[in-house]
Structure 1
Amino acid sequence: MSAKLKNKVAVVTGGSSGIGLAMAKLFAAEGARVAITGRNQANLQAAAAAIGDQAIGIPGDVASLPDLDRLYTTVQEQLGRIDILVVNAAVYVLGPLTGFTEAMFDKVSDINFKGAFFTVQKALPYLNNGASVILISSTVNEKGVPNHAAYAASKAAVRSLARSFSAELLDRKIRVNALTPGPVDTPVFETVAGSREEAKAMAGNMAAFTPAKRIADASEIAAAALYLASDESAYMIGAELLVDGGLRSL
């Protein structure tokens, strides 16, 4: 590895599986000390061990402001001030407009939108000037897809936050950018499918629908996150890095 993140401190929310874990592993391999968050203690401990000695796992829910306060005080005590913040924690809740309940809506909004907003707000006293903040959006933030209304709207909100936050943080040279993946091979499909077979079929359908004719590996999204986290992307402010296999463009 090239040690692009040597002596940096990175925080990845939702870092115990999928894209978040892939990012945390790559950041650690590139020299960063990494803190990951998640709601499942056992998964979090296993993920931190897989990342290596430079990683710590801090349990918490991004929809809980006290949990966010505890996250950042713990990171400062154990690792120091933060250079990289990846706002990755999210839920994938699907359903038709006619049957989407208030509880389903609140779950999406509380974690994907409110959680993203306050994950950044609560981090501000702990971020170094010149830090990189990466908000994970989704290619559906500009598409109309059946059963995705609340999820897509929450990810469009995340894309908007990258612009607004960047405008407010210019004086501290904190860059906020959105990383927007298309379908990715992660356990998320199993959260909305009735069985492992249904999850596999859903992933296959998305692959067929994507111009690249496959879904991404989490490591490909992590590589894009590394670019945004490193000094190589110093001229990107309030931008969107689209990594979606051509889904939006073609």
Structure 2
Amino acid sequence: MQRFKNKCALITGGTNGMGFATAEQFIREGGSAVITGRSERTVNEAVKNLGNRAFGIVSDAGSYQDLIKLQQEVRRYTETIDMVFANAGYGKFAPIESVDEALFDELFNMLVKGSFFTVQQVLPLMKSGGSVIFNTSIATEMSMPDFSVYSAAKSAVQSFIKSFAAELSARGIRVNGVSPGHIKTNIFNNTGLNPEQINEVVHHIIPAIPFKRLGNPSEIASAVLFLASGEASYIHGAELRVDAGISVVSH
């Protein structure tokens, strides 16, 4: 399939996990992708692995200074963006008593401010038929200990789906979200847990998942690209859960 022939996507947090898988599939289907990441090394490595229709920008989604330069940086590679996947982010989790201002600001800057200003900055490059997709989380639907700040930040991102959809309808730009469940990514890498502790967390999560396995980044990519494609031309203001049913199936 060449659903995205001659189209260009901007994917934040595109150096690994869900973002990289989405860029890979978008390119495979005929498009080109501009990806962002915080490290020059990981951006260059990802671009090399994605091939000659991939372009990289070193940009921190939590930095307003980086965000307001995004449009200028993207214009080095393309004058038109057909899809924005506001995906950059990671998790930090702590009990209520342990949350400090630094953790609170880090998550809200990266997930909320990052998502908002990424889309704001790229909107001038989008035309009718374009698609904006926010990455939310099942954390907005489920109550989980230690997730209070992360869940609140993702809930703010979730609210952007409806408000942006209302505002961008007249411009013919569709806005939707994808809500991943437990996916094989490096989400825990910035939590301060060591590899053994991360494995233990995952070991406890698996039995609660109806399919008894973590999702693959490619399964999120498929959902994102469905929402961005002509097949989803009448889907607007929606959030698609890709979570093996964990948020709705009792266990």
**TM-score scaled to structure 1, two decimals?**
0.96
Q: CA RMSD in A?
A: 1.2
Match of 1:223 in 2: 222
SS at match of 1:35: strand
1:72 and 2:62 matched: no
Contact 2:92/2:188 (8 A) holds in 1: no
Match of 1:136 in 2: 135
Contact 1:9/1:80 (8 A) holds in 2: no
Contact 1:179/1:240 (8 A) holds in 2: yes
Match of 1:172 in 2: 171
Shift of 1:65: 3.2
Match of 1:16 in 2: 15
Match of 1:123 in 2: 122
Q: Tell me how far apart the structure 1 counterparts of residues 224 and 158 of structure 2 sit (CA, whole Å).
A: 15
Which AA in structure 1 matches 2:66?
A: D
1:213 and 2:212 matched: yes
Match of 2:236 in 1: 237
Q: Tell me how far apart the structure 2 counterparts of residues 113 and 67 of structure 1 sit (CA, whole Å).
A: 15
Which AA in structure 1 matches 2:72?
A: T
Contact 1:38/1:58 (8 A) holds in 2: yes
SS at match of 1:82: coil
Q: Tell me how far apart the structure 2 counterparts of residues 196 and 93 of structure 1 sit (CA, whole Å).
A: 15
Between stretches 237-246 and 186-195, larger displacement belongs to 186-195
Between stretches 103-112 and 206-215, larger displacement belongs to 206-215
Between stretches 82-91 and 203-212, larger displacement belongs to 203-212
Shift of 1:193: 5.0
Match of 1:62 in 2: 61
Match of 2:196 in 1: 197
Deviations 1:148-184 (A, max 9, x none): 0010111111111000000001110111101000000
Show the 5 A alignment for 1:102-113.
102-113=101-112
1:83 and 2:79 matched: no
SS at match of 1:103: helix
Which AA in structure 2 matches 1:17?
A: N
How many positions carry a matched residue from both structures?
249
Contact 2:62/2:109 (8 A) holds in 1: yes
Deviations 1:100-121 (A, max 9, x none): 0010000000011111111111
Match of 1:145 in 2: 144
Match of 2:184 in 1: 185
Gapped regions of structure 2 (runs ≥ 5): none
Q: Cα gap change, 1:193/1:65 in structure 2, threshold over 3 Å: closer, same or farther? A: closer
Match of 1:7 in 2: 6
Q: Tell me how far apart the structure 1 counterparts of residues 32 and 93 of structure 2 sit (CA, whole Å).
A: 35
**TM-score scaled to structure 2, two decimals?**
0.96
Deviations 1:165-216 (A, max 9, x none): 0000111011110100000001222322522122122122222111111110
Between stretches 154-163 and 121-130, larger displacement belongs to 121-130
Which AA in structure 2 matches 1:151?
A: Y
1:48 and 2:47 matched: yes
1:163 and 2:162 matched: yes
Shift of 1:63: 2.6
Q: Tell me how far apart the structure 1 counterparts of residues 44 and 10 of structure 2 sit (CA, whole Å).
A: 15
Match of 1:114 in 2: 113
Gapped regions of structure 1 (runs ≥ 5): none
Contact 1:33/1:79 (8 A) holds in 2: no
1:28 and 2:27 matched: yes
SS at match of 1:220: helix
Which AA in structure 2 matches 1:211?
A: P
SS at match of 1:129: coil
Q: Tell me how far apart the structure 1 counterparts of residues 198 and 10 of structure 2 sit (CA, whole Å).
A: 29
Deviations 1:20-45 (A, max 9, x none): 11111111111111000010110110
Contact 1:9/1:81 (8 A) holds in 2: yes
